[in-house]
Structure 1
Amino acid sequence: MISAVLVQPASAETLQEALLKAYQSNPTLTGARSGQRAVDENVPIEKAGGRPRLNATGNYTESILKPTISFTSPQRAATANAQLSVPLYAGGAVKNGVRGAKTRVEAGRASLRGTEASVFSQVVAAYMDVIRDSAIVSLNRANVGVLEVNLQATNDRFEVGDLTRTDIAQSQSRLALARSDLQTAEANLIRSRENYIALVGSPPDNLETPPPLPGLPANPDLAVQVAVVDNPDILAAKKQREAAFYDVKVARAAAKPTVSAFTQAGYTNYLNTLPIGQSDSQINKSAAAGVELNIPLYQGGRPAAQVRQSQAFESQAIEREIEIERGVIAQVRAAYASWQASLQTIVSSQAAVDATALSLEGVRAENSVGSRTILDILNAEQEALISRVELVSAQRNAYVAGFSLLASMGHAEADDLGLAAGVLYDPVQNYDRVKNKLLDWGGDPAPVPVATRTVDTPAQNAKVAPETK
């Protein structure tokens, strides 16, 4: 299990709260959900190709100049026509188009899961960056304070002739470098906090130590086995390959016969402008029904080209699936190795922290009896600082690598992280809402922003709350 070392105030913000904020308002996630709703609409669009079509036309005609050889043409006429067409057979284009659209909906859902895991990984990294950089700022500030005390003590001992100007210069040099390191650490903390705001939508507020990560694998082989089954990028690539298979069938349908049934009706009213005796009625009505068979004989080679093109896209999707699987496997193994290396680094860094603390205490004691120089103390203090910074960095790296490992395995999404019930976005609800819609009129309400803006958040600083022991 992994956990950070810093103990934060009781009112601190938790990692789960940060993830929940990002889940609700991160624009990458909210935009991906909108994109998935657009993909959902491809299903009713494809279904529309197999549904009846009803058209109506009407016109009014006024003869400005009658033909000179025609004495029976009407002066004006109003006509109306209606036609109902019902597709009976389309060579499989509609059926396979719908299947392909449904498969792409499933691919989109998997991609949405991948986006969710990616955003969560970024949030976890940003969260741990703030914790790490806050600790580094605290360590550097404490180091500056110690070096200021050392410089004052060195000056005092110089005044009584116990030390030389060289000792003072060495202390001044180390203090100047420490202040420079502190400024760099403060800048890094501000950058980490601003990055946190960009991802989460609000400033970090005394971030709490994150809980241990659950479900980490015992070995890389087990991690790969889980990832091959559950990784959302692999699942999305697999569904895209299946959809490309249906695209080939749709392309083949272009060379097949189509059958449709139709009925049509017409109405013409000559508005009493037919010459008397030419017609018993000023109104003409007509109606017809039938079946239309369309057999394509030659289309310039277009259908065959479209089939070959679709097959090439299917081949590309097959190779893409393998490419993504390769990348995921490499990512899983690399994340596992990084996680293990960071865990080992934590152990080594903790040992180094203990050793440098003991060494610093001993050097100071030896300096008091004259067997160690001021430079020895400065070096020991520098080594102690470096070991503490490395420990904090290793703890950050271990947690981020562990979470990245879970994400690449497909186990770092909202359901896996136990975010508050009742707030989770369900893409199936929108699909069920639109998949069978029939009307040509209507739509959804005008889009409004879902993600929160951060322009009103205050510019971040490098203030760090005091640690509680």
Structure 2
Amino acid sequence: MQTRDKTKTLRRGQWLAGLALGALTLAPPAAAETLQGALAKAYENNPTLAAARAGQRANDENVPIQKASGLPSVGAQADYQENLVVPGNSFTSPMRYASVGGQVAVPIYQGGAVRNGVKAAKFRVEAGQADLRATEASIFAQVVGAYMDVLRDQAIVQLNRKNVSVLTTNLQATSDRFEIGDLTRTDVAQSQARLALAEGDLRTAEAQLIASRELYARLVGEAPVDLQPPPQLPNLPASADEAVAIALNDNPDIEAADQLLNASRADIGVARASRMPKLSGTVSGSYNNFLNSISSQVVDAQNTTTSAAAGVTLTLPIFQGGRPSAQVRQAQARTSQAIETYVATERQVIAQTRGAYAAWKANQQIISATEQAVGANALSLEGVRAENSVGTRSILDILNAEQEYLNAQVQLVSAKRNSYVAAFSVLAAMGKAEARDLGIEGGALYDPEANYERVKGQIWDWADDPAPQQQTTSTRNVPAADASVPAGDNPLIGPIDRENGQ
């Protein structure tokens, strides 16, 4: 297990360097938050991830629990008794006595139950470690999505506020021209209606921004503050086939399914052991003291006795009502289930990887096309305004051109968000979206193998861990999110022209 972990760590080195370099090239101001910083905070303070780590520590304990079945057991007992009524014709019966004794039982042969039980527990530990990797990648994917959602929704609020401002100016100009008889009341009504709709869209965008900020706080543990442009993701695959090939080798869900299949095969050996002979050895001894309660008139009376014994016990099951065969068939059926689960997991990972890759590539093309649409709509809006000034275009033409320009900008912002999230999903499907891959900083990384090594050979009955304590912080003291937008340019829409919204 250690060798495999070291090999994975070496493979991940180039991935760590790639994203770390990307983050360094976009060094932010002191008070700003980077995507890498948000991931580091979630890594340290996300309760779902902390709970998964605790669950894996509980899973680790199954190995020493299974090993205990094959180790000697030592027991002691003490007894004190007062005989309240002694038969009248019994001169040797004591009035009281005290005794102490002990026994050592050594399992010699258990039919393979212990060996296979330990083997199954070890496989499940490895499966749990893979599940922990998957949980880590899932949390990171959610954080990346929430981070990009906040940037997207801030941009959409910013665009809608600019649109409301432009439409307000248009309405004022239309009203002024109506006063001098240059336009009709219909033109004013059209401007009023479009402004009212824009204000409704702005309220919707603000509500969505608040929801995205609350989701971010839930995942990261802190409110998003001045989020910086995300770094370029390193080592993205050149093709869907390359992504699938890496995913089949490194995806944690596939590894977990494989280890659970191995564990289910070991469970068959455990079930078969129930009909095998069992051999154990025992050594016992006792000391009895009658506390001088035997009559002194009894010749050769002994007030103390000692005894010791050693032996072996062979248990040979002959008939158990069909239970062993039922248990074996049950374990075999569960192995068949695990085989099919592995195939289903593999299919799911292949589909997930190809789908994420396709979404990433599609959104790259959408970005390119939408950038052209934004530029074309900007020119169209400028031309419609100029043509309106000479009377060849109506107010409705201007309003439509402004709406099309806004729609194109919103679509571009959404496409940039979707492209980045899809690219990260490709890395996650490939098994390349964990803390070691992403260069998470801020302290030593959590190593589930360390706890397993600590407990796997533990045989002391009093080796408890400290009392459980809450590891992550509550968000009850995080201020409620609002729809304010930080000053400056949004990384998803670039510089904003204060005159025409471009």
Selected match of 1:144 from 164, 167, 182: 164
- What is the CA-CA distance between 1:69 and the residue it aligns to? 4.6
What is residue 128 of structure 2 aligned with on the other side? Answer: 108
Q: Aligned match of 1:324 in 330, 333, 345?
A: 345
Structure 1 residue 304: deviation in Å?
A: 1.4
1:119-198 equivalent positions in 2, closer than 5 A: 119-198=139-218
- For structure 1, which segment, 65-74 or 138-147, has the greater mean C-alpha deviation from structure 2 after superposition? 65-74
Match of 1:64 among 57, 81, 84: 84
Q: Does 1:221 align with 2:241?
A: yes
Note if 1:50 corresponds to 2:70.
yes
Q: Distance in 2 between matches of 1:260 and 1:51?
A: 11
How far off is 1:277 after superposition?
A: 2.4
Assess if the C-alpha contact under 8 Å between 1:8 and 1:467 holds in 2.
no
> 1:263, 1:288 within 8 Å by CA — same for their partners in 2?
yes
Indicate the SS of the match to 1:419: coil
Name the SS of the counterpart of 2:108 in structure 1: strand
Distance in 2 separating the partners of 1:356 and 1:72:
114
Tell me which amino acid in the other structure corresponds to 2:164.
V
Q: For 2:294 and 2:87, locate their aligned partners in 1 and report how far apart those are by CA, in whole Å.
A: 14
Q: Does 1:450 align with 2:474?
A: no
Q: Do 2:92 and 2:298's aligned partners in 1 also have CA atoms closer than 8 Å?
A: no
C-alpha distance in 2 between matches for 1:73 and 1:186: 92
Q: Using a 3 Å threshold, how does the CA distance of structure 1 residues 278 and 73 change in structure 2: closer, same or farther?
A: farther
> Matched residues in 1 for 2:488 and 2:443: separation?
35
> Where does residue 427 of structure 1 map in the other structure?
448
Q: Quick one: distance in 1 between partners of 2:205 and 2:333? A: 53
Q: Distance in 2 between matches of 1:117 and 1:359?
A: 44
Q: How many residues are treated as equivalent by the alignment?
A: 466
Corresponding residue of 1:408: 429
List per-residue Cα deviations over 1:67-120 (Å, max 9, x = no partner).
345332111111111111111111111111111111111000000000000000
Give the percent of matched residue pairs that are identical in Structure 1 and Structure 2: 58
1:60-459 alignment to 2 at 5 Å?
60-275=80-295, 276-420=297-441, 422-459=443-480
Q: Is the alpha carbon distance of 1:459 and 1:270 closer, same or farther for their aligned partners in structure 2, counting shifts above 3 Å?
A: same
Give the secondary structure class of the aligned counterpart of 1:443.
coil
Letter in 2 for 1:377: I
**Structure 2 residue corresponding to 1:18, chosen from 38, 63, 79:** 38
Offset of residue 278 of structure 1: 4.3
163 and 421 in structure 1: CA distance in 2 versus 1, 3 angstrom threshold: closer
Alignment partner of 1:464 is 2:488: no
Q: Match of 2:467, SS? A: coil
Counterpart amino acid of residue 169 in structure 2: V
CA contact (8 A) 2:28 2:34 kept: no
Does the 8 Å CA contact 1:8/1:206 hold for their aligned counterparts?
no
Contact 1:8 1:207 in 2 (8 A): no
3-state SS of the aligned residue for 1:306? Answer: helix
Structure-2 separation of matches of 1:398 and 1:285: 82
Alpha-carbon RMSD: 1.7
**C-alpha contact (below 8 Å) 1:196/1:204 kept by paired residues:** yes
- Structure 1 residues 68 and 314: CA distance shift in structure 2, 3 A: farther
How far the C-alpha of 1:432 sits from its partner, in A, is 1.1
Moved more, 375-384 or 157-166: 157-166
Q: Given residue 396 of structure 1, which amino acid in structure 2 is its aligned partner?
A: R
Question: Which residue identity is paired with 2:86?
Answer: K
Residue identity in the other structure for 1:406: L
- Cα offsets for 1:305-360 (capped at 9, x unmatched): 11111111111111111111111111111111111111111011101000000000
Query: 1 CA distance for matches of 2:101 and 2:226?
Result: 73
Q: Deviations 1:157-186 (Å, cap 9, x if unpaired)? A: 112211111111111111000000000000
Q: Where in structure 1 are there 5+ consecutive unaligned residues?
A: none
Q: Which amino acid in 2 is paired with 1:107?
A: A
Taking the aligned partners of 2:309 and 2:407, their CA distance within structure 1 comes to: 91
My pick for the range that moved more, 18-27 or 289-298, is 289-298
The 3-state SS of whatever aligns with 1:239 is helix
Deviations 1:120-165 (A, max 9, x none): 0100000000000000000000000000111111111112211111
Is the 1:244–1:310 contact (alpha carbons within 8 Å) kept by the matching residues of 2? yes
Letter in 2 for 1:45: I
- Between the aligned partners of 1:400 and 1:238, the Cα distance in structure 2 is 28
Once the two structures are overlaid, the 10-residue window that deviates more, 285-294 or 393-402, is: 285-294
Aligned 8 A contact 2:294 2:301 in 1: no
CA distance change for structure 1 residues 427 and 222 in 2, over 3 Å: closer, same or farther?
same
Amino acid at match of 1:398: S
SS in 2 for 1:162: coil
| Secondary structure, counterpart of 1:266 in structure 2 | strand
1:72 is paired with a residue of what secondary structure? coil
Please tell me whether the aligned partners of residues 72 and 278 of structure 1 are also in contact (alpha carbons under 8 angstroms): no
Quote the offset at 1:12 in angstroms: 2.3
Q: Distance in 2 between matches of 1:452 and 1:252?
A: 48
Distance 1:402 1:167 in 2: 46
- Label 1:159 to 1:8 Cα distance change in 2 as closer, same or farther (>3 A): farther
Shift of 1:466: 2.4
Whole-Å separation in 2 of the counterparts to 1:338 and 1:150 = 39
Distance 1:318 1:278 in 2: 76
Read off the aligned partner of 1:27 and give its amino acid letter.
P
Secondary structure of the corresponding residue to residue 134 of structure 2: helix
Question: The residue matched to 2:337 in structure 1 has which SS?
Answer: helix
